[in-house]
Structure 1
Amino acid sequence: MNYLENPLFLLAITFGIYFFSKYIQQKTGWVLLNPILLTIAALILFLRLCNISYETYHFGGQFIEFWLKPAVVALGVPLYLQLEKIKKQLWPILFSQLAGCIIGVISVVLIAKLLGGSKEVILSLAAKSVTTPIAMEVTKTIGGIPSLTAAVVVCVGLFGAIFGFQILSLLKIESPIAQGLSMGTAAHAVGTSTAMDVSGKYGAYASLGLTLNGIFTALFTPTILRLLDLL
């Protein structure tokens, strides 16, 4: 059974499950069969059945984790392709993203506080809507629990990827720009990936929403929490 714990084998299993999950979604068209959600569920089941510890899996999985930060940087490519259009709408985009950041942070911490969450949990939820590397750094800075933040970020991203466009449709928001920005702001990289599947334009604005919300969250979260007397 030692080969099951080989880092390269575990890495191959991860990619294999993901691409198979993506194939299933493309064939069925069901949004609930999100490839990331299916991959997480399948990997948990595999590790449990084979009695492989997370630490053993992470030794191989860290090679995927390494590419998270470069992947975020690579999102600048679709932005560049839409640069001229973005310049013409720069101020409305900036103000909408600032509003999205402030509302995102305030709403989640107040809900957590009303539900009786501990201070550490509340602080860990503040950066829920930005991509994992940024969210974990913000949480470390404000004294939260980075591992909890990472789990919440994944859940938020999956929820946005599965239900984001449906919610926007119900709210009669039809502009590709508004939809793309909303997906990137609320559901970070997972939402941006879903937007990319729709079209390059949606993906570009989702990338912009992800990037700006990440910057604003990193800059303003400590100040917002101090104003709410949580720091």
Structure 2
Amino acid sequence: MNNGHRYDAYDRSKSKVYVGEYASKGNALANALAEAVYMTSLERNGDVVKMSSYAPLLANQNHTSWNPNLIYFTNTEITPTVNYYVQQLFSANAGDTYYADAVRFQKGSTPDSLLAASCVKDSKTKTVILKVVNAGSASVAAGIDLSRFGKLSSKATVAVLSGKPQDKNTAQNPSTVSPVNNELSVRKTFTYKAPAYFVSVIRITYGKSD
């Protein structure tokens, strides 16, 4: 989370970046949220950070050489970690254009390093995609301004990951923390509540009727 601004001041005339191996040191929700905060900064700096990949990726549950890993397996079971679901949400909801200042968090007791958001547009599917992350212990309100996008659908889909910071997926309980999908009513400008220990991905179509 302390590396959230790492590439903001990167010299744009220098070589582009491939972040070839990154991970928070653990498989709890708190670790996955730290990674989500970091990945919003990679999206913000997509003109410089052209590629990124999580690592280590796979490990046999009964014979690990290191921790953490993204996916654990045995001869009969596969256990996706909470980190995996965050990676899945981000990879399935990429865009081709980044928009600054579409999300502004209410000022309060939560440190800025624990809050992150991004707004991207997928021109192919005509979708505005918002990612909102709160890795702190207090609920925070976020002001959303989508007035630049013209006609928007009044209904959005939202995928949410949330829980307690120490929550993990295990072979016995592989879905302790996994995405929950819902619908959300939206307008050009609205307030969105981001509870503690929470990441969500909101998809809104533009230029289309409901």
State TM-score, norm by structure 1.
0.25
Of structures 1 and 2, the larger Rg is shown by 1
Query: Per chain length, whose mean CA-contact separation is higher, i.e. which structure has more relative contact order (CA < 8 Å, sep 6+)?
Result: 2
